[in-house]
A and B are shown apart, each in its own frame.
Chain A
Amino acid sequence: KQEVTQIPAALSVPEGENLVLNCSFTDSAIYNLQWFRQDPGKGLTSLLLIQSSQREQTSGRLNASLDKSSGRSTLYIAASQPGDSATYLCAVYGSGGSNYKLTFGKGTLLTVNP
């Protein structure tokens, strides 16, 4: 059974700081990995998707890396802003038996202080 762990559970940083969020997964037989953002009371917004054959993806100030063999991914946020405050969720897409499903971590609650 796939398990996804995110560290830290919460993070508070001053504006402008660079930061790293960590994600690990137990079953390396994944098709891809996604990072989502969730604002309070809202649904999930996909930020970055990394295919299993890729090492990283970049979008603006966000960079996500994937080390499939070690079961790890990181989300790097450069020059953080108060608007980045949200919960960040990592999810892996793999074959859970006969079904393909997204398995989520519990998320990292990020607070960027002005």
Chain B
Amino acid sequence: EAGVAQSPRYKIIEKRQSVAFWCNPISGHATLYWYQQILGQGPKLLIQFQNNGVVDDSQLPKDRFSAERLKGVDSTLKIQPAKLEDSAVYLCASSQRLAGSSGANVLTFGAGSRLTVL
């Protein structure tokens, strides 16, 4: 089974510029997550999709971050305009089961997209 694919792996931008990250989850996985991992910290959930609907975006800075999951498959995470504190690794993960069901938290993570904002 192919894993979770993310691109780009690395991105360097200047503050106030925009950036977009792409994620292709494992085929058939209903739930997709975007996590932000700042250096030295654990991953923090930004947004969770179930199929193509948003389940939780309570920690997403909506003034600058946006995400979508078209047709319940691929997802993009956009930051515009970027700030210095957005420098982090953005991890995408997917899960076969629906939120709340048994096995729903067996997540498979992608390798991540490392963002550096100068």
Contact = CB atoms under 8 A, between A and B. Distances in A.
Contacts of B105: 31-32, 34, 49, 93, 100, 102
B61 interface: no
B102 to A, nearest CB: 9
Contacts of A103: 45
A100 B107 contact: no
Interface stretch (B12-20, B67-75, B78-86, B108-116): B108-116
Interface residues of A, number: 25
B118 interface: no
Contacts of A101: 45, 48, 56
Interface residues of B, number: 23
Interface string B25-52: 0000000000000001111110010000
Contact of B48 (A4, A31, A45, A99): A99
Contacts of A93: 104-105
A32 B45 CA distance: 17
Contacts of B45: 101-103
Interface string A38-61: 000111111001000000000000
10 contacts: A43-B4, A43-B109, A43-B111, A44-B43, A89-B43, A93-B104, A95-B100, A100-B100, A106-B40, A106-B42
Interface of B: 4, 40-45, 48, 55-56, 91, 93, 99-100, 104-107, 109-112, 114
Interface of A: 4, 31-32, 34, 41-46, 49, 89, 91, 93, 95-96, 99-107
